[in-house]
């Protein structure tokens, strides 16, 4: 029987297709039995054994290909493997941040409530906890001794991310303490958290990290803006002609488009790095110059443009079922577009293949097409304008299981 995995001077040779593996196993069994008419129908013991054992090298080979081969490249590495690539680009994955909420605690006696203290960043840590009717929990940040009366204390959301609560909803203590009369959140959040930077978001920053040592003013501006907290992407268009250009940029002006980040911080970086010339943008921020006067800085935000995806799934395992919602969620989480970035089907085919395998396997994508309007379908699309960026949602992904 032939070897399914070979390492030689040309590199790693992948396993055959599952059909070729099945045929090799059948030939091996015929040799062992010494007869050519062995029954391999699916309802026979030998047929079932062939079906089962052929999946081992096939699935193992798929794991080798995806986890070993893909880990070598910035565009396909995931998780800690991608973090290693980022290290050599001198960037680091941005961690998640917690949402902070002020909560009023009313007590009728002296009482000590346990806080997170030094375990603030520990997702497994415990502390005095309150929740709303949906089960969203917040934990006391600092251990505090309270006297009888009303006290406003800071609580941290149990999980990372943007946790949105309405006033007067966090009214249920999870931990029952004698002396606590009531808990409530009469105001909105003190600060909104964020999720840990995803592989797709880190990959976008990495693609643009090569400009960090730029000396040209616009390139330096681009790099400094990208390094601001919560900035996802930045595009700068420059018109150095005497007339308005095709992007409607005035003569001798620049147009800065930033996805994410704080308005004032962005404006300061534009001012520090911009030379002479005009500006274009619908967002105006006044900054204070060194002489105390104000300077108006203009820039824009990207315009989201819906991208639609449709593809078929072909089963590689008989009667395989698929979690369609999980596949869609995986694609949306792992596909992020830059401002004015084209969309093409080849990358989406790879992501869809990974989505299928990460949610149970047993199939592969076929005939993947993309669209701006859910009517006309293509393999390659550009955004409507240089200010647009493609945006995906699970509702805009259509998947058909082939029989």
Which pLDDT score, from 0 to 100, does residue 220 have? Answer: 79
Which of the listed residues 281, 301, 321 is the one where a domain comes to its end? 301
Determine the Cα–Cα distance for residues 174 and 139; give it in Å rounded to an integer.
10
Which pLDDT score, from 0 to 100, does residue 376 have? Answer: 95
C-beta separation of 325 from 372 below 8 A: no
* 337 alpha carbon, distance to own chain's centre: 11
Give yes or no for residue 214 having a pLDDT over 70.
Answer: no
Helices and strands (H and E) in the chain: how many: 8, 22
DSSP string, 340-380: T--EEHHHHHHHHHHHHHHTT-SEEEEEEEEESSSSS-BSE
Residues 341 and 273 in one domain: no
Which pLDDT score, from 0 to 100, does residue 14 have? Answer: 55
For residue 26, tell me if it sits in a domain.
yes
Which pLDDT score, from 0 to 100, does residue 224 have? Answer: 85
Which pLDDT score, from 0 to 100, does residue 237 have? Answer: 92
Taking the CA atoms of residue 264, residue 269, residue 275 and residue 276 in that order, the dihedral angle to the nearest 10 degrees is -10
DSSP, collapsed to helix, strand or coil, labels residue 319 as coil
Read off the pLDDT band of 55 (50, 70, 90): low
Taking only the tens place, the pLDDT of each residue in 320-356 is 899 999 999 999 988 989 999 999 998 899 899 989 9
Determine the Cα–Cα distance for residues 46 and 245; give it in Å rounded to an integer.
72
Residues 214 and 280 in one domain: yes
Does residue 382 or residue 5 have the better pLDDT?
382
Taking only the tens place, the pLDDT of each residue in 93-140 is 777 788 889 999 999 999 999 999 999 888 899 999 999 988 889 999
Packed helices 18-33 and 45-63: angle between N→C axes, nearest 10 degrees: 140
Q: What angle do CA 162, 164, 168 make, to 5 degrees?
A: 150
Give yes or no for residue 384 having a pLDDT over 90.
Answer: yes
Read off the pLDDT band of 171 (50, 70, 90): very high
Taking only the tens place, the pLDDT of each residue in 142-156 is 999 999 999 999 999
Taking only the tens place, the pLDDT of each residue in 33-44 is 777 777 777 677
For residue 225, tell me if it sits in a domain.
yes
Percent of the chain exceeding pLDDT 90 equals 41
Residues 265 and 316 in one domain: no
Number of domains in the chain: 4
For residue 91, tell me if it sits in a domain.
no
Residues 296 and 322 in one domain: no
For residue 82, tell me if it sits in a domain.
no
Determine the Cα–Cα distance for residues 257 and 252; give it in Å rounded to an integer.
17
Taking only the tens place, the pLDDT of each residue in 224-256 is 888 888 888 899 999 888 889 989 999 989 999
**Across residues 275-304, what is the average pLDDT?**
88
Which of the listed residues 264, 285, 301 is the one where a domain comes to its end? 301
SS3 content of the chain, % helix, strand, coil (to 5): 30, 30, 40
Residues 60 and 140 in one domain: no
DSSP 119: G
Highest mean pLDDT among 17-21, 223-227, 379-383: 379-383
Read off the pLDDT band of 57 (50, 70, 90): low
Which pLDDT score, from 0 to 100, does residue 10 have? Answer: 47
Give yes or no for residue 3 having a pLDDT over 80.
Answer: no
Closest CA to 323 of 313, 309, 332: 313
- What is the residue range of 364's domain? 304-401
Give the H/E segment covering residue 53. helix 45-63
DSSP, collapsed to helix, strand or coil, labels residue 204 as helix
Read off the pLDDT band of 90 (50, 70, 90): low
Residues 310 and 395 in one domain: yes
For residue 92, tell me if it sits in a domain.
no
For residue 80, tell me if it sits in a domain.
no
Least confident residue range of 69-78, 94-103, 185-194, 375-384 = 69-78
Percent of the chain exceeding pLDDT 70 equals 84
Which pLDDT score, from 0 to 100, does residue 208 have? Answer: 61
Residues 328 and 383 in one domain: yes
Read off the pLDDT band of 380 (50, 70, 90): very high
Residues 251 and 278 in one domain: yes
Least confident residue range of 24-38, 177-191, 278-292 = 24-38
**Across residues 171-200, what is the average pLDDT?**
83
Residues 175 and 224 in one domain: no
**Across residues 182-203, what is the average pLDDT?**
79
Give yes or no for residue 16 having a pLDDT over 90.
Answer: no
Residues 215 and 292 in one domain: yes
Residues 294 and 227 in one domain: yes
Q: What are phi and psi of 324, to 5 degrees?
A: -60, -40
Which pLDDT score, from 0 to 100, does residue 59 have? Answer: 57
Q: What are phi and psi of 399, to 5 degrees?
A: -125, 130
Does residue 224 or residue 52 have the better pLDDT?
224
C-beta separation of 153 from 102 below 8 A: yes
Residues 311 and 378 in one domain: yes
Which pLDDT score, from 0 to 100, does residue 56 have? Answer: 59
For residue 127, tell me if it sits in a domain.
yes
Q: What is the mean pLDDT of the chain?
A: 83
Q: What are phi and psi of 306, to 5 degrees?
A: -65, 135
For residue 89, tell me if it sits in a domain.
no
Which pLDDT score, from 0 to 100, does residue 235 have? Answer: 93
Which of the listed residues 255, 274, 301 is the one where a domain comes to its end? 301
Which pLDDT score, from 0 to 100, does residue 139 have? Answer: 95
């Amino acid at each position: 029987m032939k070897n399914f995995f070979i390492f030689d001077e040309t590199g790693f040779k992948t396993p055959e297709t599952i059909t070729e593996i099945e045929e090799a196993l059948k030939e091996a069994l015929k040799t062992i039995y010494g007869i050519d008419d062995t029954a391999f129908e699916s309802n026979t013991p030998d047929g079932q054994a062939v079906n089962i054992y052929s999946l081992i090298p096939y699935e193992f080979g798929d794991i080798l290909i995806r986890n070993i081969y893909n880990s070598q490249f910035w565009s396909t590495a995931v998780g800690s493997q991608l973090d290693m690539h980022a290290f050599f680009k001198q960037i680091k994955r941005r961690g998640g941040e917690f949402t902070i909420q002020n909560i009023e605690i009313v007590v009728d006696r002296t009482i000590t409530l346990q806080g997170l203290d030094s375990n603030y960043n520990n997702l497994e840590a415990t502390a005095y906890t309150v929740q709303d009717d949906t089960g969203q929990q917040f934990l006391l940040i600092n251990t505090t001794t309270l006297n009888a009366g009303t006290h406003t204390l800071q609580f941290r959301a149990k999980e990372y991310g943007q946790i949105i609560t309405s006033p007067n909803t966090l009214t249920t203590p999870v931990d029952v303490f004698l002396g606590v009369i009531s808990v409530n959140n009469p105001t909105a959040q003190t600060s909104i958290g964020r999720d840990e930077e995803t592989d797709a978001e880190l990959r976008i920053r990495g693609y643009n990290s090569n400009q960090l040592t730029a000396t040209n003013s616009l390139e330096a501006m681009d790099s400094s803006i990208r390094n601001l907290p919560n900035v996802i992407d930045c595009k700068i268009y420059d018109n150095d002609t005497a007339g308005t250009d095709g992007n409607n940029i005035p003569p001798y002006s620049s147009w800065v488009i930033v996805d994410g980040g704080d308005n004032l911080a962005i404006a300061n970086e534009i001012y520090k790095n911009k030379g002479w010339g005009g500006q274009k943008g619908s967002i105006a921020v006044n900054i204070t110059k060194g002489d105390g006067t104000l300077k108006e800085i203009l820039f824009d935000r990207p315009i989201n443009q819906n991208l639609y995806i449709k593809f078929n799934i072909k089963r590689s395992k008989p009667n395989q079922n698929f979690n369609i919602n999980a596949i869609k969620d995986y694609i949306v989480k792992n596909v992020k577009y830059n401002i004015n970035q084209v969309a093409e089907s080849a990358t989406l085919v790879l992501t869809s293949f990974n989505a299928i395998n990460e949610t149970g396997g047993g199939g592969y994508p076929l005939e993947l097409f993309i669209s701006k309007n859910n009517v006309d379908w293509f393999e390659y699309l550009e955004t409507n304008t240089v200010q647009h960026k493609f945006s995906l949602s699970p509702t805009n992904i259509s998947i058909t299981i082939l029989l």
